[in-house]
Amino acid sequence: MKPVIGIPLRSALNFQNASMEYLFEKVRLPFKNLGAIVLPIPYVQPKDIWNTKGSELAFVTEEEKEEIRFFLNQCDGLFLAGGDKFIEQDRILYEMAVQRKMPVFATCLGMQAIATIGNEVKLQEIKSSIRHQRRKDCRYAHTVKIRKDSLLYEIVGKEVIQVNSFHKKCVYSSPKFIVTARASDGVIEAIEPKEDHFCIAVQWHPELMPYDEDANKLLSAFYEQTKQYHLQKEKQKSLGDKNGLSNTCQ
What pLDDT digit, counting tens, does each position of 143-177 carry? Answer: 999 999 999 999 999 999 999 887 777 777 778 89
Q: Residue ranges per domain, the chain?
A: 4-249
Q: Read off the pLDDT of residues 112-124 as tens digits, 9 standing for 90 and up.
A: 889 888 766 556 6
> Rounded to the nearest 10 degrees, what angle do helices 62-73 and 88-99 cross at?
60
Instruction: Select 4-249's CATH number: 3.40.50.880, 2.60.120.480, 3.40.1280.10, 3.40.50.300.
Output: 3.40.50.880
Per-residue confidence (pLDDT) for residue 236, from 0 to 100: 86
Residue 236, CA distances (Å) to 133, 172, 231 in order:
45, 39, 9
Q: Is the CB of residue 182 less than 8 Å from the CB of residue 145?
A: yes
Query: What pLDDT is recorded for position 167?
Result: 72
pLDDT higher than 90, residue 59: no
Alpha-carbon distance of 66 to 54, in angstroms, equals 21
E-only strand ranges, the chain: 4-8, 10-13, 19-22, 37-41, 77-80, 104-107, 124-125, 142-146, 160-163, 169-170, 177-183, 188-193, 199-202
The 3 state secondary structure assigned to 118-148 is CCCCCCEECCCCCCCCCCCCCCCCEEEEECC
pLDDT of residue 249: 41
Q: Is the pLDDT of residue 187 over 70?
A: yes
